[in-house]
Amino acid sequence: MGAVYLAEHTLLGRRAAVKVLQPNLSSNQDIVQRFFNEARAATAIADPGIVQIFDFGYHTDGSAYIVMEFLEGEPLDARLKRQGRLAPEEALRLLRQVASSLHAAHGRGIIHRDLKPENIFLVADREVAGGERAKILDFGIAKLSNNADSKVKTHTAAIMGTPMYMSPEQCRGAGHVDHRSDLYSLGCVLYHLVVGRVPFDGEGIGEIIAAHMMSSPPVPSQQVPGIPPGVDALILRLLAKRPEERFATAGELAEACGALLGGGTLPPTLGPIAATVMAAGTSPGAITGAPSLTTLSGSATAAPVAGTVAPAPKKRGGLIAVGAIAAVGAVAAAVLVLGGGGGGKGGAGAGTGTAAAAPIGTAAPTPPPTPAVDTAAIAKLVSEARAAADADKWADVSRLAGEALALDPQHADARALADTAKREAQSAVAYDRFTIAFEREDTVGAVDAYQQIANDSTYKGRARDAYDQLRLAYVASTRDQAKKLAKGKKCDDLDSLAAAAERVFPDAGTAAREIECKGARTRKPGGTTVATPGPGSGSGSGSGSTQPEVKPADTPAKVPGDIDGDGIPDVR
């Protein structure tokens, strides 16, 4: 979309970065508003950690630009590519900084909506733990919720962001997100950092979006053994489908990261997903290398990372201009900590790796009986799922059917509802794409999206009238173009038009072929070479008929410049 230039103030000698939008895009007011939105968002928060914006406006050639502070460092995605994945303590340290910065942004009503490793930049800073600071970049599509007069409006059905890091509510439409959407994106980022890949991936955007909306993420420690249970719980809480099941604020997330880094534990209110990770009698534990603590004091700040501040890393290649939100100080709320285990010694038998032997002659303990299936609870969940399906609340259908399957994995009705919910979620994504393409008059995009909607989906019926309207308009437009080409005797172009239109709508190709063209053809539709004389050149009765004489392919008519008699002018 543009380029970034290294600049220097001619009088002060101070370096700066200039981000310039391409001239052709600078004429698009919506794109320019989103471009300038980055500058407005970055300057909305008075914090020394935010990159400074010096100026923005239009160049003499009409290109929009932003002049900003010049930073030197490394983007987080580059570090990921180099290392594969990060140690949990390093990932938590960086995420804690990002969460603190995000808390400041959210406090000013700014929701980023595109958090990902590419938009987190690492710069040297001796004042913070680890010797480097994480900066949030690119607020180009940020939502300034406190600015009612902002000209940057988001269409309710628009899907904006990077699919692999988007929250379920963001997948359903960019107009329905709040600050907790950013927390979900941070969960995807943290998952990527410690596992080495994103929680949801697929061959197409629709598949990824549907997974965010409907599928449970794999437990990180099951992908990479050795990830502490506390980190599992933290990530899975961030990746909860319902916003209210995540952390309430980015500040709380920063506190939780600090608690784990300081050797503490997470609060017990992790929600049903995270609870499955923490088995009975298992302490979430601290990050490797941190001192083992059972409790934390009720201070207003999180425990510091053990050890001294590392020296600033050497400068690496890669200079970048960034729009950032800087890290803020410690959050005000107290850290909620669950006491884990009995002091520093852990639970009974911990660390031995062996079980106590039963006395000789004693009977082995009887295994506990398999619990009976709660048919009443399953029937209630299935009934609620059906009611949610009738109301087109497919996220609720997926949740309720999933709870029923957890009680009885073989329940046919619950399985059918879960499959239907997945199909409808994928169709909903395709329907949103169809709607956007239709409004933009992107016929090819709309047809492609329409074909991705399941035929038995409720969304197929919703889209059918608009699809038929689009088809009729496309056929009429194709016919008009065909008439113009026929009038100009551009028969080859007309044939190409018919072939192209047929790939979009078959009846559009038919409509184009019905238009009579009386000019010369150098190729026959379908690939066979043929020549067709122009009007009046046939061997008819001489009555002045304009009907062209069509020669069979094996006896092409002689045309000027045709030496070998194949009906095509030869170029020497």
C-alpha to C-alpha distance for 458 and 435, rounded to whole angstroms: 15
Is residue 571 one of the residues assigned to a domain?
no
Total domains, the chain: 3
Q: Are 218 and 199 in contact (CB under 8 A)?
A: yes
Catalytic residue (choose from 114, 125, 138, 495): 114
- Indicate whether 167 and 306 sit together in one domain: yes
Q: Give the residues across from 110 on adjacent strands.
A: 144
Question: With DSSP H G I counted as helix, E B as strand and the rest as coil, what are the percentages for the chain, rounded to 5?
Answer: 45, 10, 50
Q: Give the residues across from 19 on adjacent strands.
A: 4, 66
Q: Can you give the pLDDT at residue 541?
A: 36
Instruction: Tell me which long-range contacts 346-355 makes (C-beta under 8 A, separation of at least 24).
Output: 346/283, 347/281, 347/283
Q: Are 34 and 141 in contact (CB under 8 A)?
A: yes
Is residue 84 one of the residues assigned to a domain?
yes
C-alpha to C-alpha distance for 308 and 90, rounded to whole angstroms: 14
Range of the domain at 276: 74-288+298-315+324-341
Residue where a domain terminates, one of 423, 456, 489:
456
Is residue 161 one of the residues assigned to a domain?
yes
C-alpha to C-alpha distance for 12 and 8, rounded to whole angstroms: 8
Is residue 562 one of the residues assigned to a domain?
no
What does the block give as tokens for 286? 């601290």
Unique residue bearing structure tokens 């949103």: 432
Q: What DSSP element (H or E) covers 417?
A: helix 412-439
Indicate the residue type of 212: H
Query: Is-catalytic flag, 125?
Result: no
- Indicate whether 268 and 416 sit together in one domain: no
- Indicate whether 404 and 279 sit together in one domain: no
Is residue 512 one of the residues assigned to a domain?
yes
C-alpha to C-alpha distance for 44 and 191, rounded to whole angstroms: 30
CATH of the domain at 278: 1.10.510.10
- Indicate whether 337 and 422 sit together in one domain: no
- Indicate whether 446 and 495 sit together in one domain: no
- Indicate whether 441 and 519 sit together in one domain: no
Q: Are 61 and 22 in contact (CB under 8 A)?
A: no
- Indicate whether 200 and 284 sit together in one domain: yes
Is residue 139 one of the residues assigned to a domain?
yes
What's the per-residue H, E or C state across 490-558? CHHHHHHHHHHHHHHCHHHHHHHHCCCCCCCCCCCCCCCCCCCCCCCCCCCCCCCCCCCCCCCCCCCCC
Q: Give the residues across from 375 on adjacent strands.
A: none
Q: Give the residues across from 368 on adjacent strands.
A: none
Q: Are 95 and 190 in contact (CB under 8 A)?
A: yes
- Indicate whether 400 and 442 sit together in one domain: yes
Question: 221 CB contacts (<8 Å, ≥6 apart)?
Answer: 227, 228, 229, 231, 232, 277
- Indicate whether 188 and 225 sit together in one domain: yes
Q: Can you give the pLDDT at residue 380?
A: 92
- Indicate whether 94 and 234 sit together in one domain: yes
Q: What DSSP element (H or E) covers 450?
A: helix 443-451
- Indicate whether 380 and 525 sit together in one domain: no
Q: Can you give the pLDDT at residue 402?
A: 82
Q: Can you give the pLDDT at residue 249?
A: 95
Q: Please report, for residues 240, 498, 505, 509, the alpha-carbon distance to residue 447 in angstroms, rounded to integers and kept in the order given.
A: 33, 17, 9, 15
Is residue 417 one of the residues assigned to a domain?
yes
Phi, psi for residue 41 in degrees, rounded to 5? -65, -40
DSSP 360: T
Q: Can you give the pLDDT at residue 93?
A: 95
Helix axes 443-451, 491-504, angle to 10 degrees: 30
Q: Are strands 132-136 and 110-111 parallel, antiparallel or unpaired?
A: unpaired
Q: Are 451 and 504 in contact (CB under 8 A)?
A: no
Q: Can you give the pLDDT at residue 226?
A: 92
Is residue 452 one of the residues assigned to a domain?
yes
* Cα 174 from chain centroid (whole Å): 11
- Indicate whether 155 and 278 sit together in one domain: yes
For the chain, how long is the longest CA-to-CA vector? 120
| Sequential DSSP letters for 18-84 | EEEE-HHHHT-HHHHHHHHHHHHHHHSS--TTSPPEEEEEE-TTS-EEEEEEEEEEEEHHHHHHHHS
Unique residue bearing structure tokens 């299936």: 373
* Cα 162 from chain centroid (whole Å): 3
Each residue's pLDDT, cut to its tens digit, for the chain (572 residues) gives 678 899 998 888 889 989 898 877 888 887 888 778 767 777 777 665 567 788 888 888 888 998 988 888 999 999 999 999 999 999 999 999 999 988 888 888 888 888 999 989 999 988 888 889 888 887 766 655 444 344 444 443 345 668 899 999 888 875 668 999 999 999 999 999 999 999 998 877 888 988 998 889 999 999 999 999 999 999 999 999 999 999 999 999 999 999 999 865 554 433 333 333 333 333 333 343 333 222 222 222 333 333 333 333 333 333 333 333 222 222 222 222 223 333 333 333 333 333 333 343 444 445 555 556 788 889 999 999 999 888 888 878 888 888 888 888 889 998 899 888 888 888 888 888 888 888 888 888 889 889 889 888 888 888 999 999 889 989 999 999 999 999 998 898 888 899 888 888 998 989 999 999 988 888 765 443 333 333 333 333 333 333 333 333 333 334 344 444 444 434 33
